[in-house]
Amino acid sequence: MSNVYIYNTNKTKTTTTDQHGTGNISSFNISDTLVFQHPAYKNISFSYDSIKNADFLVMLYKKTIYLSPIVISANKWEQDRKEVPNKITAISTTEISFENPQTSADILGISNEVFIQKSQLGGGSPMIRGFSTSSVLLVIDGVRMNNAIYRSGNIQNVISIDGNNVENVEIVFGPGSVIYGSDALGGVMDFHTRDVKLAYIDKTNFSLNAFTRYSSANQEKTAHLDLNFGKKKWGFYTGLTFSGFDDLSMGNNGNNEYQRLEYIDRQNGKDTILKNPDPNVQLYSGYNQFNLLQKFRFKPNNFVNINYSFHLSTSSNIPRYDRLIQYKDSALRYAEWYYGPQNWIMNSLEIKHFEKNKAYDAAKMIFAIQNLEESRIDRNYKSDELRIRTEKVDIYTLNLDFEKMMGNKNTLFYGIEAAINKVRSEGETKNIITDDVAQSASRYPDGKNNYQSYAAYSSFKSNVSKKITLVAGLRYSYLILHSTLSDNFYNLPYNKIDLNTGSLNGSVGMVYRPADDWQLNTNLSTGFRAPNLDDIAKVFDSEPGNVVVPNEDLKPEYAYNIDLGVVKSFEEIAKIDLTIFYTYLTDAMVRRDYSIDGKDSIMYDGELSKVEAVVNASSANIYGASFTAFTKVFKSFSVRTNLTYTYGRDDEDIPLRHVAPLFGSTALTYKSERTEIELYANYNSKKSFNNLAPSEAQKPFIYATDENGNPYSPSWWTLNLKSSTKITDYLRINFGIENILNKRYRPYSSGIVAPGRNFIVSLRASF
């Protein structure tokens, strides 16, 4: 732990731990009693002799309630939460292991402040404050994952991150463009994987962790192993996870419209529609995934720290469940529709330098190369033609970040960033009878596709007084997109698309602490999102009978946001956290009816389809609030409630697509030294037909039907139980029952129905 204040009982000698958790106590006397103090941990004291006998290793115990945890995501450097005006929610590794989420998307759902949409079991698209997909930013170990083909529709790229190797997650709510650039309109999800732990004394720091998990709703079988080996100057960490998921079963009690009544199987060389023997089993939804994380660390001295990371994620084919349940002319439309293996590789090198000089006190350089491959394979019912579209993306990123103290009260953060995306897109059709392969139109232009961004930023924090902190920042970004189209690409009236645009973004915020147990925040910020290749140059079928085409005139969209927040704690008894926000979006990128050469329909995939395109709407208004309350009822019992409300419409009073309904959670928790038990309810309000975005209303097959025959998303709630018991010092068992009442429900905008009653058991061993 950094920033731990150490002093003797009469406070004649003091010191503070550094970023590695190391403090110099050589000036203390052998007869001294040392007190260890940190705002997030309980004060503890030891005699000098007892510390020496423990090899100078001291364990701190977390407070149940506190106002000022350490966060990294606000300015990319460690800071006290009490000095940050943004709303930030952190999810710890302890919470992750207790909740037993299956994917990293489910980890975000633990917060109960991020809404998760799923088009298929192998998915998870986070929605934050009415924004999603390419309008929220994914970051892992300081590297942005968003790339040139992140689409405005729902995406599942977050599941490439192995949640079992995650140390913690920080979610920044509201525009994060000053620090993170384009795409960070609704917020930033900053994943931190486990660090290599070195030995700070002349011993080897070795640890081994393993667990296995089973879930009944989709017959999940997950196995994970990680080990850490650390000497004083070098070490490594290895983490491996394999997960296998069978077809997902929905609940028994609820809307019968959600059931899977039929499916297509190929028998004797022909597609045949068969009755599903169990309509609650969502046939063709299962998949497998494998993840590897390898880290090496070298620390030649106290001033330099070098980390190399290798991430690998690969999957089996992932069925696109919402497409497999579409009907056309009273018959299932698709015989096959699945994503090919989702392959993601990232190599990153991070070098940190801690030494005060005129330019900085701390510097960090991160260079990363990502390679992504994804594909879409589909075949219509009774068709012999299998359509295959494959995309490969190479992403090169460079970040230089600096921190400089200016006196005792002021800190300057600044840096530069560069990102280069190269995209290759291919299309082909394969005859499943003859195996003949022919070239066909690709999803993206089949020529050269380059997307580049360059930026510089600066942020200044001033602790004006003990009660007031001011933060202000600026960032300038410049983006370049160049794409060429061949004649095979739908014969559009142009053969290239170019975009060159820049944006200046700023933020200013204030934190007021009238007392140690009060914090009042206000933050004004702007954000922007430049069109990427997916926005400006893609051709695809958004739903049956509609086709989205390129729009070479598309411009960036801009957000102007204000946050007001209050955090209040009542000693070790209770804590409340309330944030309200308002976002004004201009030139909002939305999907609307369009025309090419004066035609409002074109032939696409063998049928006449209405033309749509992503265009700039005039404006949109989004506002809402989030509320969290926590209280200790008795010594071992506590109650927590989270509520999130968002409202958003454009200037034509049309609902925005990624605005989730009111959702929340209430939990009763019991904790003892060896056991933790949590009984909780998750709930969502109704999304009526009048509040559905037009693009959602055109997908009635994923919604229930109201009394007027219109699609809508009903309200729902579930009752759940989780427990964790420490059997020995090395062994822990987790058990849970999700959806105890076995309700059949489908979260808003999701293509797959949520799990029915789900028994979860995992066994964790640590050595």
Domain assignments of the chain as residue spans, ordered by start: 1-63, 191-766
**2.40.170.20, 3.30.300.210, 1.25.40.10, 3.40.50.720: which CATH number matches 191-766?**
2.40.170.20
**Where residue 357 falls among pLDDT bands split at 50, 70, 90?**
very high
pLDDT in tens, 593-614: 888 777 788 777 667 788 888 8
pLDDT for 64: 64
Give the residue-averaged pLDDT of 335-357.
96
Q: Report the candidate in 89, 116, 88, 119 with the shortest Cα–Cα distance to residue 103.
A: 116
pLDDT at 491 over 70: no
Give the residue-averaged pLDDT of 513-541.
89
**Where residue 428 falls among pLDDT bands split at 50, 70, 90?**
very high
Q: Report the candidate in 374, 283, 259 with the shortest Cα–Cα distance to residue 334.
A: 283
Tell me, yes or no, if the pTM score tops 0.85. Answer: yes
CB neighbours of 339 closer than 8 A, spacing ≥ 6? 120, 122, 156, 317, 318, 319, 320, 374, 375, 376, 377
pLDDT at 170 over 80: yes
Nearest-5° Cα angle at 399, 396 to 405: 175
pLDDT for 539: 73
Give the residue-averaged pLDDT of 18-29.
81
pLDDT at 320 over 90: yes
CB neighbours of 653 closer than 8 A, spacing ≥ 6? none
Lookup: tokens for 152? 């405005």
Residue 470 amino acid letter? L
pLDDT at 54 over 80: yes
Mean pLDDT across the chain: 92
Q: Which residue has the higher pLDDT, 391 or 24?
A: 391
**Where residue 63 falls among pLDDT bands split at 50, 70, 90?**
confident
pLDDT in tens, 547-571: 887 887 888 899 999 999 999 998 7
Nearest-5° Cα angle at 362, 357 to 367: 125
> What stretch of H or E contains 535?
helix 533-537
Residue 537 amino acid letter? A
Nearest-5° Cα angle at 733, 728 to 739: 160
Give the residue-averaged pLDDT of 51-74.
80
**Where residue 489 falls among pLDDT bands split at 50, 70, 90?**
low
